Amino acid sequence: MSVNSFNAKFSTGTLAGSILLALATSAAAHTTIEVSATEGQTAYNSIQVGHGCTMNEGTPSEKKLPVIAEAVVFPTDDSTGEITDDKGAPFSPALKLSDIISDASGLMSKASLVQDKNVFAKQDLIYDPDGKTVTSFGTTSPAVIGFFGRSGKLQTNLRARIPFRFSPPSFKAGATDSCVDTLLVKVAIADICKVSKHPSVGQVNLWLPHTTTIFTDDKIDGIVDSEHGLPNTAYTGAPATLTIKRTTALDASCNGEGKTAIFWPTSTWIDKTLNIPKFWTPKAP
């Protein structure tokens, strides 16, 4: 599918789908991932940016700021993410990503940015900081863990789509089947409105599971969310969710009952990778 056909597909849509999308974005206005992924089907998708930042919200000096840059990072393997059930609790016995999917490289290089400079004039991929590589069809390349865009200006009364391509992993089957049939991948995203080494409210929206050593301000939009987070757990924020649906049959030992698992990026991974080199490199306070 070409980028043009991708844009046409999501621009035209059905009337019902357009209405549902409008209702969803107007109600939440968060930064989200547009559609779910299906095992065995590589497809185009997009990051939906719902709004910019607000300085001095609720005061006479309130000011809306446009998103000028964005960083997007996926958890990729057992060392960068953690698995919980759909309520944010560990499974018993515990599960790791490698217990659920069969891809040796995990989610590395599964997402690839589509060049589209309608919002950000400069775009590029984010590579694994430890130099990990992925081999595909005999070619070894640096492992992609996300992407970024900068030199942009999203009009404050509008929304944006940032297109990307995703190749879902394969779920383990047979004797090693985890019985997981739905994997929710939580993606860390920073919508940057003002560059600062110590981001604060009104400068950035951070769609994260929780605070981290670097991102300590829980008043920043996206870090704590009573509606979309999981209350009374460590996961109180609203990172974007990429749902991966299984198509292969569950093993007989699952008794036809599939489980939902959530794959969260760790705080260490977020702090290590959620930045834009030579542009936005936040530090711990």
Q: Are 120 and 113 in contact (CB under 8 A)?
A: no
pLDDT for res 28: 47
pLDDT score for 10 = 44
How far is 268 from 174, CA to CA, in rounded Å? 33
Per-residue confidence (pLDDT) for residue 18, from 0 to 100: 36
- Whole-angstrom Cα distance, residue 105 to residue 96? 13
What is the predicted pLDDT for the residue at 15? 36
Please enumerate in sequence order all residues whose Cβ is within 8 A of that of 279, keeping only pairs 6 or more positions apart, or say none.
Answer: 69, 150, 195
* pLDDT score of 6: 46
Q: Which residues of the chain have pLDDT under 50?
A: 1-28
**Looking at residue 27, what is its pLDDT?**
40
Domains recognised in the chain with CATH numbers: 3-273 (2.60.40.2230)
Q: 205, 87 in Cβ contact below 8 A?
A: no
Measured CA to CA, the distance from residue 74 to residue 89 in angstroms comes to 20
How far CA 246 is from CA of 47, 54, 168, 222, 258, in Å, comes to 22, 39, 10, 28, 10
pLDDT of residue 269: 98
At residue 275, the pLDDT reads 98
